[in-house]
Structure formats: structure tokens, C-alpha cells
Amino acid sequence: MNTISLKRTVALFTALAGVALLNAPPASAAGPLKDITNRYVGSAVAANHLANEADYRSVLTREFDNVTPENEMKWGVVEANRGQYNWSGADAIVDYAQRNGKSVRGHTLVWHSQLPGWVSNLSAGDLRSVTQRHIATAMGRYQGKIRAWDVVNEMFNDDGTRRASVFQQKLGDGYVADAFRWARAADPSAKLYINDYNTEGLNAKSDALYNLVRTLKQQGVPIDGVGFQAHLATRYGFPGGYQANLARFAALGVDVAITEADVRIPMPADTTKLNTQATYFKQLWDGCHAVARCVEFTTWGFTDRHSWVPDTFPGEGAACLFDTNLRPKPAYTRINP
């Protein structure tokens, strides 16, 4: 069963079972986002907000049918000290998803950031074995409960060269293929993705990613999809060639997905800026829907109440579909009038 028909089947069973928790009033007469598309439509979520904010949980449950743990599955969180695991946040999100009929995107296994310090100091041999074990442990714990995993995250620099991560430096180019092979063995039911940012348009970085995915496919490496994060900023313009770029990857025989969309604007927000932001979200949404193998549209958080943007880009913000009070913004209404 392909991804889109699987989504339809899950939605049907969820409705029949009457388990949908639709507490909050709808944001659109057309229905929630998840019901106006046959793509998975998701958001990054944080376990503590899910546990402590009823309105956050309610809007998430109403609007989305995919969740991506924003930080809870990262290596630095689950194994900050070697051999001492903390799965509490990840377990809570997977449990929420199971109870509410949501799919989960696992995020992320091999990434240079949020790595525990002890991983960076290993010999090449030890790094290789603990990376395989990390993949096997995380994927094995949630086997069958995670639709798709970001196996390798952000491995390229913007100029298309490989990032000099500890994995690249100690294990060499082959670490990418190895990671996908280990991941397939750990959970054969999960779709395996490579994921990156600034690859939405046609540019040096997306060319490098395209060439890598083509080579991996030719070599029979088990890669199923390419994630485009889509952290956009209105001051940089909309990525040129976005739809053509998604289409060229799909033509390689992989699924594509928008995995972390947000569109930051200079603060303070005003009507003009919010309308510009709306056109960006709409183009992202439409481009995904124009490509048959674009199977998912996930945003990096859904409310301006909680977003990584202001912490990282002082003076910019308001990057999400809902405002701090969980009211739909023009970007939401443009997608779902």
C-alpha cells in the first residue's frame, strides 16, 4: 500500500472508531487541514507542551495527522551519557500518536548537532559501532510505530560540499550508505529519509543532494525519501525552482516531503508581512500537491507561542500557521480558506 492510500485507510478507521478528539472549534468551514489533503499534514511537537497545554494539544489533534518530535528523539536527549537512556519525551509523543491515530516522523538519527559530547570523542571503530547501535536501539524501540525516519540529517554545506561532521571525518563518505542499511535492518517497515535545509530550490546544495540520492539509488542503498525542511524567511525570497526541484527528486524513484516548514518575518508583524508569509506557505503547499510523490507537509511547530525562530534569529519571528493564541493566521487561511 502506498503512503497516500495508507493515510486514507487510517483516516477511515479513525473516523469509524470515533476516536477523533475534536474539542476546539474549527479554523475553517472546509474542515481541518488534515481533511483537505491526501498528504500527511504534520507539525513538530514538544512533549512538555503536549502534556501541559490543553489548547495546544487540542488544536494539534484537530488539525494534523503527523507528529515529529522536535527534540525528544535526538541523540543528545536520549543518551546524554553513554548507556543511560531517557526515552520519556519520545515515548509520550509516540503514545499520543498511537492513541490519536497520528503517524510519526522520527527525528533524527545521524546528525552533527545535539550530539552528546561522548560521541564526538570516540575512535573511528567505536563511533561506527555506537552509531549502528544507536540506530538499532531507537528504531527498534518504536518498530512499526514510526512511519518515516530522518536517518541522515543536514550532511551538506550550502556550497554542496559535505559538512565536516564527526561522522564524515572519522567514517568517511560511506557513513551515509551504512546508516541507511543499518536503519533498514532495524525497522524494515519504516520509510527512510535523508533530510536537509536550503535544498528547496534549485541550487548548489540541492544539486549535491540530488547527485548523492541518485548514486545511493544506483548502488541499491535502501533510501525511500528526501525531506526538504523549508525553513524560509521572507527577506530571502521564495526558493527558485521549488516545484521543479521536488519533481526531479521524485523522478529518481523516491518520495519527497516537506518536513519542517516555517516562514519567518521581520518583527513586529503587520498585515502586509503576514500576507507575504501567506503566499510563501501557499506556494510550499501547492508545490507539494503538484508532485504526486510529495507525501507529507509538516510544519516546524504550529503556533507562534512556541517556535525556535526568535531564539535563533533575533528580530524575526511569527513563523507559524497559528498565532500565540492559537488563532489561524492569514497563512493558514490561504491554504485552507
Considering the rule CB under 6 A, would residue 229 count as an interface residue with ligand G3I? yes
* Count of residues touching ligand G3I (by CB under 6 A): 7
Residue selected from 70, 72, 178, 224 as contacting ligand G3I according to rule CB under 6 A = 70
Residues 6+ apart with CB under 8 A from 45: 60, 67, 68, 69, 70, 93, 96, 301
Which residue lies nearer to ligand G3I by CB, 6 or 85?
85
Q: Which residue is nearest to ligand G3I (CB)?
A: 308
- The Cα–Cα gap between 24 and 16 comes to 20
Cell numbers 495546544 correspond to 56
Rounded least distance, CB 161 to ligand G3I, Å: 19
251-270 positions binding ligand G3I, by CB under 6 A: 260
Beta-bridge mates of residue 333:
none
Considering the rule CB under 6 A, would residue 71 count as an interface residue with ligand G3I? yes
Q: How far is CA 67 from the centre of its chain?
A: 8
Alpha helices in the chain (DSSP H): 3-17, 47-52, 54-63, 75-78, 88-100, 117-120, 124-141, 166-171, 175-186, 204-218, 242-250, 271-289, 309-312, 330-335
- The Cα–Cα gap between 43 and 203 comes to 26
Residues 174-213, one symbol each (x = binds ligand G3I by CB under 6 A, - = not), give: ----------------------------------------
Rounded least distance, CB 218 to ligand G3I, Å: 28
Active-site residue identified among 63, 72, 200, 260: 260
Which residue lies nearer to ligand G3I by CB, 260 or 304?
260
- The Cα–Cα gap between 206 and 219 comes to 20
Which residue lies nearer to ligand G3I by CB, 162 or 217?
162
Considering the rule CB under 6 A, would residue 114 count as an interface residue with ligand G3I? yes
Residue selected from 2, 98, 113, 275 as contacting ligand G3I according to rule CB under 6 A = 113
Active-site residue identified among 72, 154, 200, 296: 154
How far, CA to CA in Å, does 280 sit from each of 5, 153, 240, 247? 28, 24, 12, 18
Which residue lies nearer to ligand G3I by CB, 114 or 215?
114
- The Cα–Cα gap between 36 and 19 comes to 19
Residue selected from 85, 238, 308, 313 as contacting ligand G3I according to rule CB under 6 A = 308
Residues 6+ apart with CB under 8 A from 99: 19
Which residue lies nearer to ligand G3I by CB, 79 or 260?
260
- The Cα–Cα gap between 129 and 126 comes to 5
260 is catalytic: yes
Residues making contact with ligand G3I (CB under 6 A): 70-71, 113-114, 229, 260, 308
Active centre residues (catalytic)? 154, 260
